[in-house]
């Protein structure tokens, strides 16, 4: 399978939820699959996309496969997003001002 663009991998909500599930540490593929109303092969395909994007790494342990979060590509996404922060920070400040005006 060809390398997957990190942004393409993150575009899918199931893959984002898988990454969230791995924030607290490695997890077995079966445990991850149990968190979704999807078939195990479907979750396995999502994990494969994340692995090809470099967002997770797979560790075989006997008959099980454990997945670990790889943070470096996420830091690169954060670096890319950083120049755009002033757009949403300004909007959030304007929203806070509006709420304060409505609720004195």
The predicted-structure confidence for 68-90, as pLDDT tens digits, reads as follows 999 899 888 888 888 888 777 87
- Give the model's confidence band at 3: pLDDT under 50 very low, under 70 low, under 90 confident, else very high: low
Q: Is 44 within a domain? A: yes
- Give residue 20's pLDDT: 95
Domain count, the chain: 1
Are 52 and 1 in contact by the 8 Å Cβ rule? The answer is yes
Average pLDDT over residues 24-43: 92
**Other beta carbons less than 10 A from residue 62's beta carbon:** 5
What domain range includes position 61? 6-102
- Residue 17: what pLDDT? 95
Q: Is residue 23 part of a domain?
A: yes
Q: What is the CATH number of the domain that holds 69?
A: 1.10.10.10
Longest dimension (CA), the chain: 62
DSSP secondary-structure letter at 2?
Answer: -
In angstroms, the CA 32 to CA 51 distance is: 14
For residue 1, tell me if it sits in a domain.
no
Average pLDDT over residues 30-40: 92
Rounded to whole angstroms, the Cα distance separating 37 from 102 reads: 41
How is residue 12 annotated by DSSP? S
| Cα–Cα nearest to 54, from 70, 33, 36 | 70
At 34, phi and psi to the nearest 5? -65, -15
| Threshold 0.95, pTM exceeds | no
Among residues 102, 30, 18, the alpha carbon closest in space to that of 68 is found at 18
């Amino acid at each position: 399978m060809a390398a997957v663009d990190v942004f393409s991998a993150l575009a899918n909500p199931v893959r984002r939820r898988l990454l969230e599930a791995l924030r607290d540490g490695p997890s077995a593929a079966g445990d991850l699959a149990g968190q979704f109303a999807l078939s195990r092969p479907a979750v396995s395909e999502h994990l494969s996309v994340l692995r090809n994007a470099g967002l997770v790494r797979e560790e075989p342990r006997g008959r099980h496969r454990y997945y670990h979060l790889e943070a470096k590509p996420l830091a690169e996404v954060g670096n890319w997003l950083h120049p755009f922060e002033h757009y949403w920070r300004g909007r959030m400040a304007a929203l806070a001002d509006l709420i304060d005006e409505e609720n004195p």
